[in-house]
Amino acid sequence: MADAEYTPPKVWAWNKENGGQFASINRPVSGATHDKELPVGQHPFQLYSLGTPNGQKVTILLEELLEAGHAGAEYDAWLINIREGDQFGSGFVAINPNSKIPALMDRSGPEPIRLFESGAILLHLAEKFSAFIPADAKGRAECLSWLMWQMGSAPFIGGGFGHFYAYAPFKIEYAIDRYAMETKRLCDVVDKRLAEARFLAGDEYSIADMAAFAWLGLLYRGKAYGDAATFLSMHEYTHLGRWVEEILARPAVKRGLRVNLPTGVIERHSAADFDNLPEEQ
């Protein structure tokens, strides 16, 4: 039970037991905890990730690129099991010093390029293939604004609402109220935008939609944090719902949602692998 009289100490000290179900992997320092090299496949892009919303942003884009005929976007997807601490292996930390999924190695050129943070990966791939980002200055600005909006919003939904509503070792009314309010405000922002535009950047489907869909689509469809969709009255956001259903109907999105699911250790290395992938949970 929470201590209503808790007073923070003058100097904070790490108490691993306060970490709840993530106590074994969360820590206040960075860097590798063990030596582990990462596998490297034959395709131009090597993705090290997990099928969480942040990971799904990238697999959706890669599958959309392939669907659009960009054969150079073939990739190998290697599962990083964050509950087992794979993100703290030396090979992964060398790509992403922040030890968060997703991480990508672009091996399509003469020198490998490392990329971390989902927004940076989306922007890199969209610019590389001149796809899913508007070509005109106004459209590009709108796309990037919504992409960065999503990047800034996700911590309130996942690390804020999701953590305190579903994962914290005990319920804290203030924290749940605070982040439920902010999550609903964010849903209202995007719902109003989608009342006036087909997609976030306008008439054109873009990386901004892929990024936001990975989080909001999961929440709207009741596939995140238990009964959170009911708790947050997600059905009220009708324009958001229309947008979610339109994006979910895209074949590439359906495939992108099935790569490296956290419920199974399925890795994607070629198009044929989808014959054996489970449905997205």
How far is residue 273 from each of residues 4, 49, 77, 259, 277, measured CA to CA in Å? Answer: 52, 17, 11, 10, 7
Is the pLDDT assigned to residue 265 strictly greater than 50? Answer: no
Q: How far apart are CA 207 and CA 126, in angstroms?
A: 7
With 0.85 as the threshold, say if the pTM is over it.
Answer: yes
Is the pLDDT assigned to residue 273 strictly greater than 90? Answer: no
Q: How far apart are CA 35 and CA 93, in angstroms?
A: 10
**pLDDT single digits (tens) 209-220:** 999 999 999 999
Report all structural domains of the chain as residue ranges with CATH numbers, in order of start: 45-132+259-275 (3.40.30.10), 137-249 (1.20.1050.10)
What integer is the mean pLDDT of 74-81?
A: 94
Provide the 10 A C-beta neighbour count for residue 79: 22
Confidence of residue 193 (pLDDT cuts 50, 70, 90): very high
Nearest to 190 by CA among 226, 149, 248: 149
How far is residue 6 from each of residues 3, 51, 163, 264, measured CA to CA in Å? Answer: 5, 37, 20, 40
Site of tokens 């796809």: 131
Q: DSSP letter string over 11-53?
A: S----GGGGGGGTTT--SS-S-SB--PPP--SSSEEEEE-SSH
Mean pLDDT computed over every residue of the chain: 91
Residue 110 corresponds to which tokens in the numbers above? 């003469």
**pLDDT single digits (tens) 32-42:** 999 999 999 99
Residue 229 corresponds to which tokens in the numbers above? 């969709």
Is the pLDDT assigned to residue 21 strictly greater than 80? Answer: no
Q: What is the pLDDT of residue 129?
A: 98
Confidence of residue 1 (pLDDT cuts 50, 70, 90): very low
Is the pLDDT assigned to residue 199 strictly greater than 60? Answer: yes
What integer is the mean pLDDT of 42-69?
A: 96
Percent of the chain topping pLDDT 70:
89
Is the pLDDT assigned to residue 168 strictly greater than 70? Answer: yes
